[in-house]
């Protein structure tokens, strides 16, 4: 057991780094499972940051679009709080050196994305926002004396004393191996470790992000919210890669259209907004084409043409690696797990239900996204609540600016890493039974299979945390007997007005439901 006066931040994506800077000069320890800058969902974000920056646009209009996209379960006060703060965060990142796209007059270039009523997405070189923002923050973090970064280390468990979070158990990664855990006691813990996309066989998320941070919080007793709402991006590039490269939504904002193998523009009959319909509708339409054997593709040839190379370099690079020319050929796409609206339930300051624990970014559920996240609100939410949480942590520290020695942990070999076959089995059952389209029978079957996988791997902390999050998603989906936003039930295809509210669940609740289902199955 080691004790530190540093605030421990689990996760080194945008939320974690932004919070570390907001906490300065208070000493911070940032835990990163990869080399800093690698493996974070933030760096993969092709969209940008939604903010009312244009003349005539307002935070209120942005909030209203967020509420509409969220299909009846958005917390309106949180939507107002976040959209009001959006402009200040754009200006802050600009001041720190983020090279947002600007026009000849110096105004921000604003892009139009699905379900926004106007162009309000600030970008960097078309599809480079996440990577460039991360590069900016990493440079500032490296130059900030109060921030210590510990790389190739993962959190496995929260240390809870008398009902409060008192630290975290950590393990070092060495290739495919993992060390034995070491407990680190700290004055506060902020979880900023990403979502759960990697729990699915087809995902746009970095490989290591498989719901572990949500799972360790839930196992410690934290209340969870909206776990059933997993957003599937409709245009992951179907090129046989894992994770699947993302064909950013801005391509459709620039006029690209979805077609199937028969050359039909199928979104025109699916929704009034056609290719710019909300993501859940587009994802189900793309999934339906895939299921029907009419391989869907994104056609950029007419609307964008050769300009795609300069405007969307990440997309063209992925196509090049797969031997595909988007100027001459449509890009094959599929619906892939992309963003989790659910997570650890937090208040307006980023506090979880457990004292001593704060959460920001995709691991949190603030109420902003509701049942279906509005495009480019994810990065914005991470920024807003990273700062909110950091300021609240400062207010709760007995000594704010006192120096602290660097943390030194001595890891010993002998930990147990997840077995690849078990992870693969979990990912496939989640895609098959808890994916774009769900049924009660399929969800019950998923719970029994998750339990069996977990029981066979009880001594593997990372995998147990994955199974915890998978159980929570599945249980929440089974309890929501309706279709709303990203959650679709074939056996309950209509929304129920009485269920137009957020859902809350503890792991104990989910386990009770799982046991009931498993008992009935036997």
Which residue do the tokens 């990203």 mark? 486
Both structure tokens of 146: 């109060």
Radius of gyration of the chain (CA): 22
DSSP 406: P
Does 219 qualify as catalytic in the annotation? no
> What's the rounded Cα separation, in Å, for the pair 325 and 333?
14
Candidates 131, 279, 484, 489; catalytic one = 279
C-alpha dist (Å) from residue 521 to 309, 445, 451, 453: 53, 8, 12, 16
Strand partners, 413: 179
Q: Could you please report the per-residue DSSP string of 125-152?
A: TTT-HHHHHHHHHHHHHHT-TTEEEEES
**Encoding tokens for residue 316?**
């063209």
CB 473 within 8 A of CB 342: yes
Contacts of 403 (CB under 8 A, 6+ apart): 27
**Based on the number of CB atoms within 10 Å of its own CB, is 313 exposed (0-12), middle (13-18) or buried (19 or more)?**
middle
Token look-up 């992925």 returns: 318
Which residue is it, tokens 């992951």?
Answer: 236
Contact 213, 193 (CB under 8 A): yes
Residues 6+ apart with CB under 8 A from 482: 489, 492, 494, 495, 496, 499
Beta bridge partners of 157: 169
φ/ψ of residue 227, rounded to 5: -65, -20
Q: State yes or no: cis peptide before 25, omega within 30 of 0.
A: yes
Name the pairing type of β-strands 177-178 and 147-151.
Answer: unpaired
Alpha carbon 407 to chain centroid distance?
A: 29
The DSSP H or E segment spanning 155 is strand 153-161
- For the annotated catalytic residues, the residue numbers are 279
């Amino acid at each position: 057991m080691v004790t530190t006066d540093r605030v421990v931040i689990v996760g080194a994506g945008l939320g974690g780094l932004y919070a570390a800077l907001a906490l300065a000069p208070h000493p911070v320890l940032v835990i990163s499972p990869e080399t800093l800058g690698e493996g974070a969902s933030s760096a993969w974000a092709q969209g940008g940051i939604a903010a009312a920056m244009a003349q005539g646009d307002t935070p209120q209009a942005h909030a209203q679009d967020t509420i509409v996209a969220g299909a009846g379960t958005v917390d309106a006060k949180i939507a107002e709080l976040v959209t009001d703060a959006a402009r200040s965060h754009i200006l802050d990142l600009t001041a720190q050196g983020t090279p947002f796209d600007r026009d000849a007059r110096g105004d921000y270039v604003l892009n139009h994305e699905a379900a926004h009523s106007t162009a309000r997405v600030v970008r960097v070189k078309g599809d480079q926002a996440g990577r460039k923002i991360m590069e900016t923050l990493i440079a500032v973090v490296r130059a900030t004396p109060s921030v210590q970064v510990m790389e190739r280390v993962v959190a496995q468990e929260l240390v809870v004393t008398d009902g409060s979070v008192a630290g975290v158990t950590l393990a070092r990664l060495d290739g495919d191996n993992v060390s034995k855990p070491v407990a680190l006691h700290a004055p506060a813990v902020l979880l900023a470790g990403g979502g759960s996309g990697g729990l699915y066989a087809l995902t746009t998320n970095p490989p290591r992000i498989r719901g572990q941070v949500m799972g360790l919080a839930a196992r410690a007793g934290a209340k969870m919210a909206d776990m059933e709402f997993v957003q599937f991006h409709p245009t992951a590039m179907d090129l046989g890669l894992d994770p699947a490269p993302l064909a950013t939504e801005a391509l459709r904002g620039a006029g690209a259209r979805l077609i199937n193998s028969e050359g039909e523009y199928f979104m025109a009959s699916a929704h009034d907004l056609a290719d710019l319909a909300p993501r859940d509708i587009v994802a189900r339409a793309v999934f339906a084409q895939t299921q029907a054997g009419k391989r869907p593709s994104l056609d950029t040839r007419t609307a964008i043409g050769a300009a795609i190379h300069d405007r969307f370099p990440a997309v063209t690079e992925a196509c090049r690696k797969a031997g595909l020319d988007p100027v001459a050929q449509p890009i094959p796409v599929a619906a892939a797990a992309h963003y989790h609206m659910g997570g650890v339930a937090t208040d307006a300051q980023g506090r979880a239900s457990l004292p001593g624990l704060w959460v920001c970014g995709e691991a949190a559920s603030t109420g902003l996204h509701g049942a279906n996240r509005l495009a480019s609100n994810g990065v914005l939410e991470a920024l807003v609540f990273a700062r909110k949480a950091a300021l609240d942590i400062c207010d709760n520290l007995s000594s704010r600016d006192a120096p602290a020695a660097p943390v030194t942990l001595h890891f010993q070999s002998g930990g147990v890493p997840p077995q690849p076959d078990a992870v693969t089995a979990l990912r496939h059952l989640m895609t098959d039974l808890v994916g774009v389209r769900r049924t009660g029978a399929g969800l019950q079957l998923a719970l029994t299979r998750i339990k069996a996988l977990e029981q066979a791997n009880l001594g593997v902390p990372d995998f147990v945390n994955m199974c915890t999050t998978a159980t929570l998603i599945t249980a929440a989906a089974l309890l929501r007997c309706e279709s709303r936003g990203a959650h679709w039930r074939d056996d309950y295809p209509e929304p129920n007005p009485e269920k137009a509210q957020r859902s809350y669940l503890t792991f104990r609740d989910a386990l009770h439901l799982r046991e009931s289902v498993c008992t009935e199955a036997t």
